[in-house]
Chains A and B, each alone.
Chain A
């Protein structure tokens, strides 16, 4: 048996995984990274629109700071997030972007003087200040009160991932490409690494480490149509679930993006609307202001997606061979702006649709996009149930997004979480808990178990066809666990997914144990079905509507009964996951639950909300400086690694 040792085993070579590895390396540890694909091809590369950080450099960003970013994030989450984590995030995001700026990301910069922009369908002239010239600029995004989304044209994820990957190469961190973690090695209390399969040769090995980090991205590909890369199949969530002890958080919290093109679900960025684009219906009518007079096309994503679906249900969709859609109109922005700031969008329109977005409308519809749920961890990124197992990025639920993520907050999260969790991983490794104390017998047991599993698949007579089962799973998720949900559909989804899971054990494959795509699908399928089941069960149980989780039969946000986080755990031998719940404490919230301002107010209040609101109001009325108010209401600095506690400088906020 091949055994590979490192201090920190990072499963995932996207932005989150590589940034964690860099943090560990800089603390004197030896990390190693696993990835299904070359690291630069991870899905982070596809992020288009930008990264949120409250720099307040551009004119429409003036007055922005951590407080505003924090509040936008909490509102966006529909109060489902961990507010301490949202605070840590908002505080570190400016540091993260400045670090990336130094490492080489070519962020677009402020140009002093006048420039034109399109806001709410009108051409306006904005004037940028002289002292901001050459600093990082930002664009508007949904659900934010300031222009805070920093960008490199619409290739932000590419620029960030290449810069971070280049640093990983510079710092000589090994990336084991085309290597897939199949199972975590653990003893029920402590995680020791993973069983890893070489996707070229099929060879299994044991990667042992003091700390293991799941940074595998989202689980969008359990839906039929998704904006996600094909490799985002939720294998990280499955790794944690299959330990039987680690838990997943809020798996039912899944975001649908308003603007993916037909038929394949390729995304066109929210930056299109941020820069002034609007949605139109079959009659060419701009309909969002009818539903959301205030935020219009730039309401929170979950809201825009539901309004679009509602509008199509009202017969205002455009018919096409691939089903109904609406139009995204960015013609008003003009060719020059599109050529400069929306060039990926232009390429996508040209290559996949054969249209020119400076002249033609883009056919779009809401499509699965982001996984708010994931491996549940504490604010340090560590699983509360399996010591030595960490997680960060889209794969994790340390819980800064709650039930809806704001655009631009995810790539920001990946690097911020990478920086913070990386420090905590290093602390762990350097403490007595971090000693490596695993017997090779345990590692062998886990490797042999995976080996037997694969051999069993190869030997199967093959009564079931993996492609058919997968298509059925995708259809169920799309039809019954989508944008609008209801009890009967979710019940049948759970029943049918459970049946598919049982049948998935009967899948047979031709060919052998090495590079064999058929085998890969066969062993991933049951894992995907388990992830799908935790999503469907979570959605069925949660009899309220919050953020992206919308129950037609329970349209109210019910803080009284559901201001909590779903936890899912799957014991070996069980047919279904077990769910339990973790309460969110209103009395410790800096921003007590309120109304997000979309549609009609429909909230069942938590009994603690009013008293907490009174406390907060009283404190705010005292007119102290903002740092003092903040730390009184919900102190969080002590949760941060020392090196990241400092204040952020801004043009109008010099460092003390």
Chain B
């Protein structure tokens, strides 16, 4: 076993509702322990040094998408980032592109709901089914393909890593386009491409993407975001003709 390290954290501290307060960075030192994640480290900082430090962990298992932040400048899920994979000095900043609540806590939920409403990101049903009857059959491979795109956890990393999103607050981001790709693939959604075009056929949607690949690089679920965007762009371009 290697000798244990003392980690130095530089953590963004600011409460925008605190009228006198200026944004700043605070430094904390934490002894590293085996298997330590940023969740464990931040909890220790809060318990031992700074009980007022705000951050958002819920599942702490990499599935709920609450704890995305900039970890040494790169968007990622803090709960499943092991400190052993980071240098001895670690900087933590809130995810850009979202409203700051305080310190490392940002309002991704509000952004995601607005995006979902705008893109009507739900299965548009032709009619309700009779639940007493055997369900409609679905091709097993297609079901798996839909699930693959459904695995997005709305963490916001792709938005934080996106050049367009940082310039255009109304950009729906890879998260939004991936959602529509998911519904478009789903035989239960009865929308046509013309209808999807109405939702994303402009620069705040599919034509705003500059193909910089930032989104796909940082997606914690390793979704094929660029492929989905390219695919949607081709389908939408056909509509625009």
Distance of B153 from chain A, by nearest CB (Å): 7
CA distance A566 to B59 in the complex (A): 30
B129 within 8 A of A: yes
> Are A134 and B59 CB-contacts (below 8 A) given A106-B143, A107-B143, A321-B34?
no
CA distance A472 to B105 in the complex (A): 28
Q: Residue on A with the closest CB to B132?
A: A646
Within 8 A of B (CB), among A613-656: 646-651, 655
CA distance A646 to B129 in the complex (A): 14
A40 within 8 A of B: yes
Within 8 A of B (CB), among A308-333: 321-322
Contact B140 A43 (CB under 8 A): no
CA distance A46 to B64 in the complex (A): 7
CA distance A646 to B112 in the complex (A): 38
> Are A45 and B52 CB-contacts (below 8 A) given A98-B129, A134-B140, A230-B57?
no
CA distance A413 to B53 in the complex (A): 37
> Are A344 and B63 CB-contacts (below 8 A) given A167-B122, A169-B113?
yes
Within 8 A of A (CB), among B63-93: 63-66, 80, 82
Residues of A within 8 A of B58 (CB): 37, 41-43, 229-231
Within 8 A of B (CB), among A246-293: 263-264, 266-267
Distance of A52 from chain B, by nearest CB (Å): 16
- How many A-B residue pairs have C-beta atoms within 8 angstroms? Tell me: 204
Distance of A278 from chain B, by nearest CB (Å): 23
Contact B132 A648 (CB under 8 A): yes
B151 within 8 A of A: yes
> Are A166 and B123 CB-contacts (below 8 A) given A158-B151, A201-B17, A648-B132?
yes
Q: Which of A372-380, A401-409, A476-484, A507-515 has 4 or more CB atoms under 8 Å from chain B?
A: A507-515
CA distance A321 to B101 in the complex (A): 37
CA distance A166 to B182 in the complex (A): 13
CA distance A158 to B136 in the complex (A): 22
B109 within 8 A of A: yes
Partner of A655 from B63, B133, B138, B154 at Cβ < 8 Å: B133
Contact A101 B136 (CB under 8 A): yes
Contact A98 B62 (CB under 8 A): no
What is the total number of residues of chain A having a CB less than 8 Å from a CB of chain B?
Answer: 80
Residues of A within 8 A of B52 (CB): 510-511, 516-518
CA distance A648 to B135 in the complex (A): 11
Contact A347 B62 (CB under 8 A): yes
> Are A655 and B132 CB-contacts (below 8 A) given A229-B60, A230-B58?
yes
CA distance A509 to B46 in the complex (A): 13
Distance of A197 from chain B, by nearest CB (Å): 14
CA distance A42 to B109 in the complex (A): 12
Q: Residue on B with the closest CB to A200?
A: B101
B217 within 8 A of A: no
Other than A104-B123, A109-B138, A517-B52, give 9 A-B pairs with Cβ distance below 8 A.
Answer: A46-B64, A96-B131, A134-B139, A177-B109, A230-B58, A347-B80, A509-B51, A510-B52, A517-B53
- Sorted nearest first, the 7 A-B pairs with minimum C-beta distance are A38-B109, A134-B137, A95-B131, A166-B122, A104-B123, A106-B147, A109-B140
B residues apposed to A, CB below 8 Å: 15, 17, 34-35, 37, 39-40, 46-47, 51-54, 56-66, 80, 82, 101-102, 105, 107-110, 112-113, 116-117, 120-123, 125, 128-129, 131-140, 143-144, 146-147, 150-151, 153-154, 183, 186, 188-189
A residues apposed to B, CB below 8 Å: 37-43, 45-46, 55, 94-99, 101-104, 106-111, 133-136, 152-153, 155, 158-159, 162-163, 166-167, 169-170, 175, 177-178, 200-201, 229-231, 263-264, 266-267, 321-322, 340, 344, 347-348, 351-354, 467, 509-511, 514-518, 521, 646-651, 655
